[in-house]
Structure 1
């Protein structure tokens, strides 16, 4: 074969090879999708198929610092001698990007190839490793472009890399700088994801995850296209890649902004919860529930008057924390107004606690404040005598209040009680206060148990003597008896009048009455025998036992009243053991104290106040007697009861005369 024929054959083969290469490229183009024709959900599906795990270690912080120093031409903030992944991995990716043909379909193919090879790395590592591989070539160009004429080795490498004939276009520089800046968002997401926030608390992190694979895809695709333009094997329109990447970044930034708010809320809640669990004092505890960080908002009011000192008003105080909605709480407000009044009264000290050290604070819980809710709140606040938290936005410590392991408010009103150290002494004193009122002071669970022990035995006796007796917590009960049938008839008649009175109906008061022995007189002796059995002669060691013995003595004193006796209770809480005459007079003169039923926040309180006034009045007319005995022949000294029906107790023998030893004591007027 001649040289001319050989040359002709060679030219023909070359032409065929080029044609075959072109056909092959076209076939691949027909098989591979153009990434610009794909929607983000389609890209998301393809990218997710390449991701297996993210347990392969990568020094992302170090790589980002090194890459940033090259692309942005800044001085690295850290000194590094080695990092993961190693050089072969970076060089392999770099070579793959350099050999990518000038077609978007091939960019897509190379991008998926890189993702497949980095399948065990985290999402942020995939993008950073690819950018580091690009920086090998990019940094090499920048460095060789700066060599001096005296640098022989540098000049030789400069010629070999043909730096003098190449020029990096502005769109390459701008795109890679943009990528470096945008990778900060990816790093933020990765950092927050690694912090282990609960998806329930920070759902925006999960929302952001939907953008991350697409963000990584377009980051790598942009780097692949930039590499082709950098080495001169392609001339991609890089603005198209930047546009697609920027659209994903825009969505990611929105999610990250939401993440930041949610994480700020989570971190704030964590800090508040820690302060609540281990408070310095009651003020610190309340701040965790109420105050926004660094502010004195919300404000504290007493009625309609703002408390200038804010939460410091509760320093060294016990706090009854009333937590409720605005709906149907008038009964609770009335009850707590009554407790507030009782805390101002004598005696100031009880069970080792000072009543003045107990404060009531209301935290209203409203899902959404609007004009109607605000007006409703202000109307309720105007009728409150104690302290109120005023706010019209979301309460900072609401999740603590609703956490069943902390306070546990759901929808029904509760009253947890805190001591001055900010520690709960009763998780919910609502039922305790409703049942026993101020008698439950200082409102510990043990106080309720003591009251049950104090009175349960008497209720057992009463129920045996009064068949059909039903005790309900919101009803007032008169239990009465005596030997004077006329008094019983008159008392019953007056009581029935009061039950039908308009004031009682308006106050929503329900009164029930039971006469001991009405249907079976034989039950009366068993009633008093039941009380007699509770009497003890031994010295009482327990406080409750001593109180029970005092009740027994008071009941026997009532038994000797020639008129009759009464027991007034609200539910199981016995409010008064009273004598017949002042109790009857109190009913007869209801017109004089009817308004107090509303003003005094309770029928029992108004009744007892007027009863005590009448009892003192009657006792004043008939003071305890002193009987002088001039001649007494018996060797045995007899026992004589005080003639005053309001007393009736056995008189004390003093020398040769009798005198009552209970001279006008308040306890004789009823408990």
Structure 2
């Protein structure tokens, strides 16, 4: 505030204090009477005069009290601005809060002058006073805005302080319960409780003491498939009692609809949930900036000393389920090394758990694409299955189409689920820096996703045999009666022969460089990739798409 903003209220306060003492106490205190007589306000000591002017005195007092609150808010904002002037993260917030300060000071001054004039009029014999309604309304509006700005500033300051505290705590082993308190609760929270989904009761966060914690972090825009994926993990760790799942919902701005959605989702989760509907998370800045939360669900794993075990274990759980226990980075690397030629079947296990249990050493063609391409492939593959030589050789071949939900009825959509799993494997392999045949095969399959001719994968039992574009795989099937004459087909060599024929078809067609888009990864940054065909470094880019299709399967990134 300028010098005028300080002098005017200061000069006014003495006069008003004496006036209000006299008016408030009327004839009840001798001191008030004496002051009233000495200061020239004996007119208010008469009961009939005070009754007549009492309403005006009350209105005057309300305006003055509001004005003083405005002045106090201005001083608080100025103090915060000086204190945090060198903190770049707060400059914009504080600047926005202070941009109308001069106008607010002006209104404080003219309102103070108007009130002083009213005091003079009320203590005169005439007893008339000016209407202060316009001043009262304006000051009330200013006060409400300033309170909101102060609230925002203090919240941002607390978020920053929480962020810095968390940065410090995660550098050293710290009891998980202490970290959880700072991560979840603001300082002004009297109760540090979380919701137990199994009992539907609030429990103190101390219950997480000495536990390994799996933080399920998400917005409210999540598919129930995530809950279904985590439920077996919850059941698996429930008896162990050393691992606890805690849902942290991230909501920037609450609405009634979001509060209802929160309650609905929480009711379906048997594990712990942070906060109530309408509550905000203290450590949201750390979650976004250091754990790279970008709106997509993630599962951060912390041990009992708050040491990070995995940025996002959802990827592991999506592929291996409970086999990924204890959900550490080391466990993920072990599982990846064990896959090699079984990675595709591992993904399909997550989509159809019964698929490989009854297939054993049989062959399966997985295929997809547009309706024309898939129908053509199905026709040729069916002809192969019904071929007499194949039957006589007891070569069992099955077909598994990966299709979109044609009925659009909210049912199972194997297409979305399948590609979500493939993209998940891509993220895991790239982040783990394991650039091997598996990542090349995944990359190849991703490049066929939007191919007009579609794609196809041949497996035998759990082993991957061949991956190709629909056009080249179709060519191999079309030329079956040529290559089946070259070698006697058996259950053991059918896959090898088919793969060799596919390699020949690819060479005759000529290689096509890889091209595919991949969503950004939660909790990590994708690195440069090389083309699986020519070996050149590929140009990287992000493709953004607004997805509100409730039937779309979740993408674990």
| Structure 1 length-normalised TM | 0.40
Instruction: Name which structure has the greater RCO, CA cutoff 8 Å, separation 6+.
Output: 2
The structure with more radius of gyration: 1
